[in-house]
Amino acid sequence: MSNAIEARLSELGLTLPDAPAAAANYVPFVRSGSTLYVSGQISMGPDGFITGKVGSDLDVEQGAAAAKACALSLISQVRAACDGDLTRLKRVVKLTGFVNSGPDFTDQPKVINGASDTMVEIFGEAGRHSRSAVSAAALPFNVSVEIEGIFEIA
């Protein structure tokens, strides 16, 4: 592995997916100075979309796994924005997580913990961030989770 972050990913047994291409009329990320805004990343696994409503089709743990998948896609976008060099990441600033859930489901924060915990496991203190975790009546392609992020980069 070429750096400490790549080594940490390997140690955790995590593999970053290829940075997903934009699916509509937007770009995957925008850099403004040292701030990197990454568009919402939807829950994708090796077999395709992770779909369904959390709380009825998926339990909280499955939702958290979907959020972890979103976190790995976010990191892939950061890597792409930094020309493959994750050491340029200085801090995870904020995550905004959307959970496909019904009106009676209130554990959105537990679901988005799947992404937050992943950021801290990989980046340590630089992975600690502010956050929002909200319910969505529906998400694109019926995915379970979508998360966007703001990062500070060198």
Give per-residue pLDDT as tens, 94-141.
999 999 999 999 999 999 999 999 999 999 999 999 999 999 999 999
Q: What is the pLDDT of residue 2?
A: 57
Which comes out higher in pLDDT, residue 3 or 115? 115
Top CATH class, 28-153: alpha beta
Model pTM score: 0.96
In this model, does residue 1 exceed pLDDT 80?
no
User: From CA 55, how far away is CA 15, in angstroms rounded?
Assistant: 28
- The C-alpha R_g of the chain, in whole angstroms, comes to 15
**Within 13 Å, how many C-alpha atoms sit on residue 144's CB side?**
31
According to DSSP H, which parts of the chain are helical? Answer: 4-11, 60-81, 108-123
Specify whether the CB–CB gap between 131 and 94 falls below 8 A.
Answer: yes
- Letter string b/e over residues 69-98, b meaning 16 or more CB atoms within 10 A of that residue's CB: bbbbbbbbbbbbbbeebbebbebbeebbbb
Domain ranges of the chain: 28-153
Query: pLDDT digits over 33-91, tens only?
Result: 999 999 999 999 999 999 999 999 999 999 999 999 999 999 999 999 999 999 999 99
97-109, pLDDT tens digit by residue? 999 999 999 999 9
Q: What is the dihedral of CA 109, 152, 30, 22, to 10 degrees?
A: -50
Confidence bin at 3 (pLDDT 50/70/90) = confident
